[in-house]
Amino acid sequence: MGMDGRPVVAAAIASFFLLLALCSPLAIAEEEPPHGRPNILFILADDLGINDVGFSPSNRGLNDEFRSATPAIDALASEGLRFDRFYSDSSCAATRAGLLTGRPPSQLGFRPSGDGIALELSTLPELLAESGYRTVHIGKWHLGFRDRSAWPLQQGYEHFFGFLNQFLLKTPAQETRLARPSYRNPWLQEDNKERRQYSGHLSELLLARAEETLASLARQPAPWFMSFWPYAPNEPLEPPEREGLFEDLSSVGSEDLKARYRQMLEVLDRQVSRLVATLEDTGQRENTLIVFASDNGGTARHAASNDPLPGAKGFFYEGGVRVPMFMQGAGLPRDQSRTDISSYLDLLPTLAQIAGATIPGELTGRDLLSHGSSAKSSTQGALFWGQDAATWSVLSADGDYRLVVDALNPDGHLHSAVSHEPLKILN
Protein backbone atom coordinates (compact mmCIF):
# COMPACT_ATOMS: atom_id res chain seq x y z
CA MET A 1 0.00 0.00 0.00
CA GLY A 2 1.29 3.49 -0.82
CA MET A 3 1.95 6.36 1.52
CA ASP A 4 -1.52 7.81 0.96
CA GLY A 5 -3.18 4.64 2.31
CA ARG A 6 -1.41 4.49 5.64
CA PRO A 7 -3.97 6.51 7.66
CA VAL A 8 -6.69 4.28 6.27
CA VAL A 9 -4.96 1.11 7.45
CA ALA A 10 -4.22 2.66 10.83
CA ALA A 11 -7.88 3.52 11.24
CA ALA A 12 -8.87 0.01 10.22
CA ILE A 13 -6.59 -1.55 12.81
CA ALA A 14 -7.77 0.85 15.51
CA SER A 15 -11.39 -0.01 14.73
CA PHE A 16 -10.65 -3.70 14.94
CA PHE A 17 -9.02 -3.48 18.35
CA LEU A 18 -11.89 -1.35 19.59
CA LEU A 19 -14.07 -4.31 18.63
CA LEU A 20 -11.82 -6.60 20.65
CA ALA A 21 -12.16 -4.40 23.71
CA LEU A 22 -15.93 -4.42 23.47
CA CYS A 23 -16.22 -8.21 23.28
CA SER A 24 -17.90 -9.44 26.45
CA PRO A 25 -16.17 -12.19 28.47
CA LEU A 26 -17.59 -15.67 28.26
CA ALA A 27 -18.62 -17.87 31.16
CA ILE A 28 -15.86 -19.64 33.08
CA ALA A 29 -15.93 -23.34 33.92
CA GLU A 30 -13.15 -25.12 35.76
CA GLU A 31 -11.65 -28.49 34.97
CA GLU A 32 -9.45 -30.67 37.08
CA PRO A 33 -6.08 -31.60 35.54
CA PRO A 34 -5.06 -35.21 35.03
CA HIS A 35 -3.05 -36.71 37.89
CA GLY A 36 0.33 -38.41 37.86
CA ARG A 37 2.91 -38.46 35.07
CA PRO A 38 1.38 -40.25 32.10
CA ASN A 39 3.06 -41.33 28.92
CA ILE A 40 2.29 -38.90 26.08
CA LEU A 41 1.63 -39.92 22.47
CA PHE A 42 1.38 -36.86 20.23
CA ILE A 43 -0.03 -37.62 16.76
CA LEU A 44 0.21 -34.75 14.27
CA ALA A 45 -1.53 -35.36 10.92
CA ASP A 46 -0.27 -33.56 7.82
CA ASP A 47 -2.66 -31.24 5.93
CA LEU A 48 -5.76 -32.73 7.57
CA GLY A 49 -8.70 -30.34 7.24
CA ILE A 50 -11.24 -29.83 10.00
CA ASN A 51 -13.90 -31.33 7.74
CA ASP A 52 -11.88 -34.46 6.86
CA VAL A 53 -12.80 -36.22 10.11
CA GLY A 54 -16.24 -37.38 11.15
CA PHE A 55 -16.05 -36.05 14.71
CA SER A 56 -15.67 -32.43 13.61
CA PRO A 57 -18.66 -30.27 14.61
CA SER A 58 -18.38 -28.46 11.26
CA ASN A 59 -18.84 -31.69 9.30
CA ARG A 60 -22.60 -31.52 8.81
CA GLY A 61 -23.17 -33.02 5.39
CA LEU A 62 -20.55 -30.89 3.60
CA ASN A 63 -18.07 -33.75 3.24
CA ASP A 64 -20.29 -36.80 3.68
CA GLU A 65 -18.30 -39.06 1.38
CA PHE A 66 -15.35 -38.84 3.78
CA ARG A 67 -17.18 -39.02 7.10
CA SER A 68 -16.73 -42.78 7.35
CA ALA A 69 -13.03 -42.73 6.41
CA THR A 70 -11.77 -42.15 9.97
CA PRO A 71 -13.67 -44.52 12.33
CA ALA A 72 -10.73 -45.12 14.71
CA ILE A 73 -9.93 -41.42 15.02
CA ASP A 74 -13.60 -40.58 15.52
CA ALA A 75 -14.04 -43.28 18.17
CA LEU A 76 -11.00 -42.02 20.07
CA ALA A 77 -12.25 -38.43 19.86
CA SER A 78 -15.68 -39.47 21.14
CA GLU A 79 -14.00 -40.83 24.28
CA GLY A 80 -11.89 -37.75 24.88
CA LEU A 81 -11.81 -33.99 25.35
CA ARG A 82 -12.38 -32.27 22.01
CA PHE A 83 -11.29 -28.70 21.28
CA ASP A 84 -13.70 -27.38 18.65
CA ARG A 85 -11.95 -24.01 18.19
CA PHE A 86 -8.29 -25.05 17.95
CA TYR A 87 -5.88 -23.12 15.73
CA SER A 88 -2.54 -23.91 14.09
CA ASP A 89 -0.35 -21.84 11.82
CA SER A 90 -1.11 -22.04 8.09
CA SER A 91 1.81 -24.23 7.01
CA CYS A 92 3.63 -27.36 8.14
CA ALA A 93 7.00 -26.07 9.33
CA ALA A 94 5.64 -22.95 11.03
CA THR A 95 3.20 -24.97 13.14
CA ARG A 96 5.82 -27.55 14.09
CA ALA A 97 8.21 -24.83 15.24
CA GLY A 98 5.49 -23.26 17.37
CA LEU A 99 4.42 -26.61 18.83
CA LEU A 100 7.92 -27.49 20.02
CA THR A 101 8.82 -24.04 21.38
CA GLY A 102 5.48 -22.58 22.50
CA ARG A 103 6.38 -19.42 20.59
CA PRO A 104 5.01 -17.94 17.36
CA PRO A 105 7.31 -18.88 14.47
CA SER A 106 7.59 -15.25 13.38
CA GLN A 107 8.99 -14.47 16.84
CA LEU A 108 11.61 -17.16 16.33
CA GLY A 109 12.77 -15.74 13.03
CA PHE A 110 11.73 -19.11 11.62
CA ARG A 111 10.08 -17.52 8.63
CA PRO A 112 11.12 -16.89 5.95
CA SER A 113 14.50 -18.61 6.49
CA GLY A 114 13.22 -21.91 7.93
CA ASP A 115 16.68 -23.03 9.01
CA GLY A 116 15.40 -24.67 12.20
CA ILE A 117 14.98 -23.90 15.87
CA ALA A 118 17.82 -22.02 17.56
CA LEU A 119 19.76 -24.19 20.01
CA GLU A 120 19.41 -21.68 22.84
CA LEU A 121 15.62 -22.10 22.89
CA SER A 122 14.06 -24.76 25.10
CA THR A 123 11.91 -27.26 23.23
CA LEU A 124 9.12 -29.49 24.50
CA PRO A 125 11.18 -32.71 24.26
CA GLU A 126 14.07 -31.03 26.07
CA LEU A 127 11.82 -29.93 28.91
CA LEU A 128 10.27 -33.40 29.22
CA ALA A 129 13.65 -35.14 29.06
CA GLU A 130 14.90 -32.94 31.90
CA SER A 131 11.94 -34.08 34.00
CA GLY A 132 12.73 -37.76 33.43
CA TYR A 133 10.83 -38.63 30.25
CA ARG A 134 12.18 -40.79 27.44
CA THR A 135 11.71 -38.86 24.18
CA VAL A 136 11.19 -40.31 20.69
CA HIS A 137 10.28 -38.72 17.38
CA ILE A 138 8.97 -40.84 14.50
CA GLY A 139 7.90 -39.47 11.13
CA LYS A 140 8.12 -36.08 9.48
CA TRP A 141 10.39 -33.41 10.96
CA HIS A 142 10.41 -30.43 8.56
CA LEU A 143 12.31 -28.21 10.99
CA GLY A 144 15.63 -27.92 9.18
CA PHE A 145 17.82 -30.51 7.46
CA ARG A 146 20.97 -28.81 6.15
CA ASP A 147 22.41 -27.99 9.59
CA ARG A 148 22.79 -30.91 12.02
CA SER A 149 22.02 -28.59 14.95
CA ALA A 150 18.42 -28.46 13.70
CA TRP A 151 17.96 -32.26 13.71
CA PRO A 152 15.72 -33.99 16.28
CA LEU A 153 18.51 -35.37 18.49
CA GLN A 154 19.95 -31.87 18.85
CA GLN A 155 16.50 -30.56 19.80
CA GLY A 156 15.79 -32.84 22.76
CA TYR A 157 14.85 -36.22 21.32
CA GLU A 158 16.65 -39.36 22.45
CA HIS A 159 15.73 -41.29 19.32
CA PHE A 160 14.57 -40.38 15.80
CA PHE A 161 13.33 -42.38 12.84
CA GLY A 162 11.79 -40.73 9.82
CA PHE A 163 12.57 -37.97 7.34
CA LEU A 164 13.90 -34.47 7.90
CA ASN A 165 12.11 -33.10 4.87
CA GLN A 166 9.55 -34.71 2.55
CA PHE A 167 11.47 -33.46 -0.48
CA LEU A 168 14.33 -35.80 0.49
CA LEU A 169 12.20 -38.96 0.49
CA LYS A 170 13.37 -39.87 -3.03
CA THR A 171 16.88 -38.41 -2.73
CA PRO A 172 19.75 -40.88 -2.18
CA ALA A 173 22.13 -40.41 0.74
CA GLN A 174 24.98 -37.93 0.32
CA GLU A 175 22.77 -35.84 -1.97
CA THR A 176 20.85 -32.74 -0.92
CA ARG A 177 18.79 -32.15 -4.07
CA LEU A 178 15.10 -31.78 -3.41
CA ALA A 179 12.68 -33.96 -5.35
CA ARG A 180 8.94 -34.58 -5.56
CA PRO A 181 7.93 -36.63 -2.48
CA SER A 182 6.83 -40.25 -2.68
CA TYR A 183 5.52 -42.83 -0.21
CA ARG A 184 7.18 -45.65 -2.18
CA ASN A 185 10.54 -47.09 -1.05
CA PRO A 186 11.57 -43.90 0.80
CA TRP A 187 15.00 -42.81 1.97
CA LEU A 188 14.76 -42.51 5.77
CA GLN A 189 17.07 -41.57 8.61
CA GLU A 190 17.65 -43.09 12.06
CA ASP A 191 19.08 -40.82 14.74
CA ASN A 192 22.03 -38.92 13.24
CA LYS A 193 23.01 -41.70 10.87
CA GLU A 194 23.20 -41.43 7.11
CA ARG A 195 19.90 -41.88 5.31
CA ARG A 196 19.22 -45.20 3.61
CA GLN A 197 16.49 -46.53 1.37
CA TYR A 198 13.78 -48.75 2.83
CA SER A 199 11.57 -51.09 0.85
CA GLY A 200 7.85 -50.55 1.31
CA HIS A 201 5.25 -47.85 1.86
CA LEU A 202 6.21 -44.88 4.04
CA SER A 203 3.09 -45.13 6.20
CA GLU A 204 3.71 -48.80 7.00
CA LEU A 205 7.41 -48.27 7.70
CA LEU A 206 6.72 -45.46 10.17
CA LEU A 207 3.92 -47.41 11.83
CA ALA A 208 6.02 -50.54 12.23
CA ARG A 209 8.83 -48.58 13.89
CA ALA A 210 6.36 -46.80 16.18
CA GLU A 211 4.79 -50.11 17.27
CA GLU A 212 8.22 -51.61 17.92
CA THR A 213 9.27 -48.56 19.93
CA LEU A 214 6.09 -48.56 22.03
CA ALA A 215 6.67 -52.21 22.90
CA SER A 216 10.24 -51.42 23.93
CA LEU A 217 9.20 -48.42 26.05
CA ALA A 218 6.68 -50.62 27.90
CA ARG A 219 9.59 -52.60 29.37
CA GLN A 220 11.19 -49.50 30.89
CA PRO A 221 10.14 -47.74 34.12
CA ALA A 222 10.38 -44.12 32.97
CA PRO A 223 7.41 -42.30 31.41
CA TRP A 224 7.80 -41.49 27.75
CA PHE A 225 6.90 -38.84 25.18
CA MET A 226 6.54 -39.97 21.56
CA SER A 227 5.71 -37.56 18.77
CA PHE A 228 4.37 -39.59 15.86
CA TRP A 229 4.12 -37.21 12.92
CA PRO A 230 3.03 -39.19 9.84
CA TYR A 231 2.90 -37.79 6.32
CA ALA A 232 -0.70 -38.81 5.56
CA PRO A 233 -2.93 -37.50 4.13
CA ASN A 234 -0.48 -35.13 2.44
CA GLU A 235 0.17 -35.49 -1.29
CA PRO A 236 1.15 -37.36 -3.39
CA LEU A 237 -2.00 -39.50 -3.25
CA GLU A 238 -0.28 -42.88 -3.09
CA PRO A 239 -2.25 -45.23 -0.83
CA PRO A 240 -0.58 -48.61 -0.32
CA GLU A 241 -3.63 -50.47 -1.65
CA ARG A 242 -3.26 -48.96 -5.13
CA GLU A 243 -0.45 -49.70 -7.55
CA GLY A 244 1.20 -47.19 -9.83
CA LEU A 245 2.00 -43.51 -9.47
CA PHE A 246 0.32 -40.41 -10.81
CA GLU A 247 3.26 -38.47 -12.16
CA ASP A 248 0.97 -36.29 -14.28
CA LEU A 249 -2.10 -35.35 -12.26
CA SER A 250 -3.58 -33.51 -15.22
CA SER A 251 -4.45 -36.87 -16.77
CA VAL A 252 -6.30 -38.14 -13.71
CA GLY A 253 -10.03 -37.63 -13.24
CA SER A 254 -11.27 -35.66 -10.24
CA GLU A 255 -13.38 -38.57 -8.98
CA ASP A 256 -10.38 -40.91 -8.95
CA LEU A 257 -8.32 -38.30 -7.11
CA LYS A 258 -11.14 -37.89 -4.61
CA ALA A 259 -11.22 -41.65 -4.06
CA ARG A 260 -7.48 -41.69 -3.52
CA TYR A 261 -7.72 -38.85 -1.04
CA ARG A 262 -10.24 -40.85 0.94
CA GLN A 263 -7.80 -43.76 0.93
CA MET A 264 -5.08 -41.50 2.34
CA LEU A 265 -7.45 -40.61 5.19
CA GLU A 266 -7.96 -44.33 5.74
CA VAL A 267 -4.17 -44.77 5.88
CA LEU A 268 -3.97 -42.21 8.68
CA ASP A 269 -6.89 -43.81 10.49
CA ARG A 270 -5.26 -47.25 10.33
CA GLN A 271 -2.07 -45.83 11.85
CA VAL A 272 -4.02 -44.39 14.78
CA SER A 273 -5.97 -47.64 15.25
CA ARG A 274 -2.81 -49.75 15.31
CA LEU A 275 -1.02 -47.45 17.75
CA VAL A 276 -3.94 -47.59 20.18
CA ALA A 277 -4.04 -51.38 19.84
CA THR A 278 -0.31 -51.55 20.61
CA LEU A 279 -0.81 -49.48 23.74
CA GLU A 280 -3.53 -51.88 24.85
CA ASP A 281 -1.49 -54.98 24.03
CA THR A 282 1.50 -53.68 26.02
CA GLY A 283 -0.54 -52.60 29.06
CA GLN A 284 0.12 -48.89 28.57
CA ARG A 285 -3.26 -47.68 27.42
CA GLU A 286 -4.63 -46.52 30.79
CA ASN A 287 -1.58 -44.43 31.61
CA THR A 288 -1.12 -42.80 28.20
CA LEU A 289 -2.39 -39.39 27.16
CA ILE A 290 -3.07 -39.26 23.41
CA VAL A 291 -2.99 -35.86 21.70
CA PHE A 292 -4.25 -35.68 18.11
CA ALA A 293 -4.12 -32.60 15.87
CA SER A 294 -3.35 -31.39 12.35
CA ASP A 295 -0.51 -29.08 11.40
CA ASN A 296 -2.68 -26.76 9.28
CA GLY A 297 -5.90 -26.64 7.31
CA GLY A 298 -6.47 -28.92 4.35
CA THR A 299 -5.42 -28.01 0.82
CA ALA A 300 -9.06 -28.46 -0.32
CA ARG A 301 -7.84 -29.60 -3.72
CA HIS A 302 -9.63 -32.97 -3.67
CA ALA A 303 -12.33 -32.59 -1.02
CA ALA A 304 -14.30 -29.98 0.91
CA SER A 305 -11.72 -30.34 3.67
CA ASN A 306 -12.33 -27.01 5.39
CA ASP A 307 -15.95 -26.15 4.57
CA PRO A 308 -17.80 -24.10 5.66
CA LEU A 309 -14.69 -22.15 6.63
CA PRO A 310 -13.11 -19.92 3.96
CA GLY A 311 -9.48 -20.45 3.04
CA ALA A 312 -7.05 -23.35 2.92
CA LYS A 313 -3.46 -24.30 3.76
CA GLY A 314 -1.03 -21.46 3.23
CA PHE A 315 -3.52 -18.68 3.99
CA PHE A 316 -4.41 -16.97 7.27
CA TYR A 317 -8.14 -17.28 6.75
CA GLU A 318 -10.19 -19.49 9.05
CA GLY A 319 -9.97 -22.59 6.88
CA GLY A 320 -6.18 -22.39 6.73
CA VAL A 321 -5.58 -22.33 10.49
CA ARG A 322 -8.55 -23.96 12.23
CA VAL A 323 -7.87 -27.68 12.65
CA PRO A 324 -9.19 -30.77 14.47
CA MET A 325 -7.70 -31.47 17.92
CA PHE A 326 -8.53 -33.66 20.89
CA MET A 327 -6.87 -35.23 23.93
CA GLN A 328 -7.84 -38.64 25.25
CA GLY A 329 -6.90 -40.82 28.20
CA ALA A 330 -4.87 -40.56 31.40
CA GLY A 331 -7.58 -39.09 33.60
CA LEU A 332 -9.02 -36.53 31.18
CA PRO A 333 -12.76 -35.91 30.92
CA ARG A 334 -14.55 -38.31 28.58
CA ASP A 335 -16.80 -37.32 25.71
CA GLN A 336 -16.66 -33.57 26.26
CA SER A 337 -16.21 -30.65 23.88
CA ARG A 338 -14.63 -27.28 24.53
CA THR A 339 -15.60 -24.26 22.47
CA ASP A 340 -13.06 -21.78 23.81
CA ILE A 341 -10.30 -20.43 21.59
CA SER A 342 -7.14 -22.53 21.92
CA SER A 343 -4.06 -22.84 19.74
CA TYR A 344 -0.94 -24.84 18.95
CA LEU A 345 1.00 -22.51 21.25
CA ASP A 346 -0.96 -23.90 24.21
CA LEU A 347 0.31 -27.45 23.84
CA LEU A 348 3.84 -26.92 25.20
CA PRO A 349 2.68 -25.39 28.53
CA THR A 350 -0.13 -27.97 28.77
CA LEU A 351 2.05 -31.03 28.19
CA ALA A 352 4.95 -29.65 30.24
CA GLN A 353 2.59 -29.12 33.18
CA ILE A 354 1.25 -32.66 32.86
CA ALA A 355 4.80 -34.01 32.84
CA GLY A 356 5.89 -31.95 35.83
CA ALA A 357 8.42 -30.10 33.69
CA THR A 358 9.58 -26.51 34.02
CA ILE A 359 7.62 -24.15 31.79
CA PRO A 360 9.67 -21.31 30.24
CA GLY A 361 8.52 -17.79 30.99
CA GLU A 362 7.13 -15.30 28.48
CA LEU A 363 5.22 -17.90 26.46
CA THR A 364 2.17 -16.91 24.44
CA GLY A 365 0.09 -19.97 25.30
CA ARG A 366 -1.54 -21.29 28.46
CA ASP A 367 -1.99 -24.62 30.19
CA LEU A 368 -5.35 -25.80 28.85
CA LEU A 369 -5.97 -28.22 31.72
CA SER A 370 -4.80 -26.36 34.82
CA HIS A 371 -7.12 -25.48 37.71
CA GLY A 372 -8.87 -22.27 36.81
CA SER A 373 -8.42 -22.67 33.05
CA SER A 374 -11.61 -21.68 31.37
CA ALA A 375 -13.66 -23.89 29.11
CA LYS A 376 -14.96 -20.70 27.56
CA SER A 377 -12.24 -18.07 27.74
CA SER A 378 -9.59 -17.24 25.16
CA THR A 379 -5.90 -18.05 25.23
CA GLN A 380 -4.33 -14.64 25.58
CA GLY A 381 -7.02 -12.41 24.13
CA ALA A 382 -6.71 -12.03 20.39
CA LEU A 383 -4.62 -14.47 18.34
CA PHE A 384 -2.11 -13.21 15.78
CA TRP A 385 -0.58 -14.73 12.66
CA GLY A 386 2.03 -13.08 10.47
CA GLN A 387 4.51 -13.86 7.74
CA ASP A 388 5.68 -10.44 6.66
CA ALA A 389 4.56 -6.84 6.84
CA ALA A 390 1.89 -7.34 4.17
CA THR A 391 0.53 -10.77 5.22
CA TRP A 392 -1.02 -11.15 8.64
CA SER A 393 -4.24 -12.00 10.44
CA VAL A 394 -5.90 -11.30 13.79
CA LEU A 395 -8.72 -13.30 15.39
CA SER A 396 -10.78 -11.46 17.99
CA ALA A 397 -10.75 -12.76 21.56
CA ASP A 398 -14.27 -14.17 21.25
CA GLY A 399 -13.45 -15.82 17.92
CA ASP A 400 -16.26 -14.09 16.03
CA TYR A 401 -14.26 -11.77 13.79
CA ARG A 402 -11.04 -12.03 11.82
CA LEU A 403 -9.07 -9.21 10.22
CA VAL A 404 -6.97 -10.43 7.28
CA VAL A 405 -4.37 -8.35 5.47
CA ASP A 406 -2.40 -9.95 2.67
CA ALA A 407 -0.39 -8.93 -0.36
CA LEU A 408 -3.31 -9.68 -2.69
CA ASN A 409 -5.79 -7.75 -0.56
CA PRO A 410 -3.85 -5.07 1.36
CA ASP A 411 -6.95 -3.07 2.33
CA GLY A 412 -7.99 -5.63 4.93
CA HIS A 413 -11.37 -7.31 5.27
CA LEU A 414 -13.11 -7.89 8.57
CA HIS A 415 -14.76 -11.29 8.21
CA SER A 416 -16.99 -13.38 10.37
CA ALA A 417 -14.84 -16.33 11.42
CA VAL A 418 -17.24 -18.77 9.75
CA SER A 419 -18.63 -16.75 6.85
CA HIS A 420 -17.46 -16.44 3.27
CA GLU A 421 -18.73 -12.85 3.10
CA PRO A 422 -16.96 -9.88 4.72
CA LEU A 423 -19.03 -8.17 7.40
CA LYS A 424 -17.28 -4.91 6.75
CA ILE A 425 -14.70 -3.68 4.28
CA LEU A 426 -12.14 -1.35 5.82
CA ASN A 427 -10.96 1.04 3.15
Residues 24-44 have pLDDT tens digits of 333 333 333 333 599 999 999
- Residue 112: predicted pLDDT: 62
Residue 398: pLDDT band with limits 50, 70, 90? confident
- Residue 20: predicted pLDDT: 41
Residue 407: pLDDT band with limits 50, 70, 90? confident
The rounded mean pLDDT for the chain is 84
Number of Cβ within a 10 Å radius of residue 348: 27
Q: What is the pLDDT of residues 345-363, one digit of tens each?
A: 999 999 999 999 999 888 8
- Domain ranges for the chain: 28-382
Cα separation, 122 vs 148, in Å, equals 17
Give the SS3 label for residue 312.
coil
Burial of 27 (0-12, 13-18, 19+ CB in 10 A): exposed
- The answer to whether 42 and 289 have CB atoms below 8 angstroms apart is no
Q: What is the percent of the chain with per-residue pLDDT over 70, rounded to a whole number?
A: 81
Q: What is the pLDDT of residues 104-134, one digit of tens each?
A: 988 887 776 778 898 889 999 999 999 999 9
- Residue 364: predicted pLDDT: 83
User: Which class would CATH give 28-382?
Assistant: alpha beta
Strand ranges (DSSP E) for 134-210?
A: 134-140, 159-163, 187-190, 196-197
Q: What is the average pLDDT across 52-79?
A: 81
